[in-house]
Amino acid sequence: MEKGNELLENIDRVHTTPMGVERIRRNLLLGDDVQDVVAWCKGQIELPEAAITRKGKNWYCLVGGCIITVNAYSYTIITAHKE
């Protein structure tokens, strides 16, 4: 874990809404083979090659050809898109 990164330090708080799960699944074409979308996103965020930046109220994690957007205050995964 990268020291001093608030998102990684609070990875256990990362979550999303039911609509968020469907949006992420659709945007990243995850299909039904990924059962737990939040766990999948957390796993991507924790990868050593993940580039995590904060801009205003959101964290952006660029990893594996996708960008995962997380609210910096509530730790809600807002969306994820292919790069």
Mean pLDDT by 10 residues, the chain (83 residues): 76 97 95 92 96 96 97 97 94
First-to-last C-alpha distance (Å) of the chain: 24
Its pTM stands at: 0.92
Is 13 in a helix, a strand, or coil? Answer: helix
| Predicted pLDDT at 32 | 83
| Predicted pLDDT at 4 | 53
Can you point out the beta strands (E) in 1-83?
51-55, 58-63, 66-71, 77-82
Residues with Cβ within 8 Å of 40's Cβ and at least 6 positions away in sequence, in order, are 30, 34
Q: Could you tell me the two tokens for 79? A: 């969306």
| Predicted pLDDT at 1 | 44
